[in-house]
Every structure is written in structure tokens, then in C-alpha cells.
Amino acid sequence: MMKPVIQKDQTGCGLACVATVADVSYQEVKKVAGQLGIEVHDSRLWSDTKYVRTLLTYFGVTTSSHTSLFTSWDTIPPLALLAIKWHTIKGRAFWHWVVFWRGLKGPVVLDPKASLRNNIRTDFGRIHPKWYMTIHHAGRGHPENAVRGKPS
């Protein structure tokens, strides 16, 4: 079972999603990020895919080379990073990172937001992704392809 990693910093959703997919701790990702010159408070963590891709690659996670526009929950691959709460400020895009996973018990969104009562979400009607990045190979022991359930 893939478990959500909760972000420890206000801007740490990308780090937490990397930790979730790579099956490592938030602190481990944060430490590596610092070693790579990626600061947790750098807004590019949630306004550019470069830093998250760099961290995923470091932990052996392979992704699509591009992002795909969200059209429906049925078209998302078994494992993906989603951009939700997408908005622009002074012409620059920002979003919140979450993980979409089609697990054995059906599809879920693993949301790292610390203030949520439950970080394993199935309230798909309330989540409005803008685009997603396909995860082709996850970290330590995570399934590359899970059973394909359909969100309601």
C-alpha cells in the first residue's frame, strides 16, 4: 500500500510527493534537496516541474518527459503527480502537488497537506487537476502498475 507522506513545510508539497513516490522519508528528500541546491522555500518547487523531476530522478523514479492536460479521472495513468489548486500570480503559475494512484483498493489521491483529516482522498469531485506527470517507475518496492480502478 502506498502511503502519503505529509509535508513538514508550508511549501513542501513537492518534496512530500517525491517522498511518497520514492518510498523514502520527507526528511531524506529535504536533505537531498538541500545538497542539490533546492531550498524548500523556493517557490519554483510549486511553479516549475524541474526541481521535482530532479529529485525524482535522484531517487530512481522515472517520469514522462512532459506534462499532460487533465481531461478525466479515467484517462490518468496508474501512477501520476497531479497539479491541483492551479492559479497564476503576476503571470506565473503555481499549484499544489498530489499523487494519484490506482491501488488494489481502487484509485486514490495522496495529498500531503498537513491540515487534512485524511490524506488519502477519494473525493474526486472536489479535486480539480490542471495537468499531470506520469510516473513510469516508482521507488523502492512501489508497484509500477497497480490495478486499474475507476474513480467515482
Q: What is the pLDDT of residue 152?
A: 36
13-137 folds as: Cathepsin B; Chain A (3.90.70)
Predicted confidence (pLDDT) per residue in 130-146, tens digit = 999 999 977 765 544 33
Q: What is the pLDDT of residue 142?
A: 53
Q: What is the pLDDT of residue 1?
A: 79
CB 24 within 8 A of CB 140: yes
- pTM equals 0.89
CB 12 within 8 A of CB 51: no
| Cβ atoms within 10 Å of 151's Cβ, excluding its own | 18
At 51 the three-state DSSP class reads: helix
